[in-house]
Amino acid sequence: MFTGIQFTGTLGPNASARWFTFNWPATWHVIWYLMPDTPEAAAELDWSVAVQRADANNVTYWITATNLSSDTITFEGRYAVLN
């Protein structure tokens, strides 16, 4: 297993946005998660991940993040490859 940070993001109060990351091997099992950098205790994020086949060997991940708080939040888009 290996892990890393793929992107950083900022969302205003109650805002949503979508990020993508491409050319990941289709055979990898990747877990995506978001980690708030904002120190406020009320920082709360929700996210969903969609996978799109790019070609025979690669995929693109689409990560939609939603800020569930009334404050601006910064965060890291992190991943873990399980195989």
Angle, CA 33 vertex, CA 71 and CA 72 arms, to 5° = 10
Distance CA 25, CA 68 (A): 32
The CATH topology of domain 2-81 is Immunoglobulin-like (2.60.40)
Structure tokens at 17: 């946005």
To the question of pTM greater than 0.85 for the whole model, the response is yes
Distance CA 81, CA 59 (A): 14
Distance CA 3, CA 67 (A): 24
Task: For 10-56, write each residue's pLDDT tens digit.
Answer: 999 999 999 999 999 999 999 999 999 877 667 789 999 999 999 99
CB–CB of 29/70 below 8 Å?
no
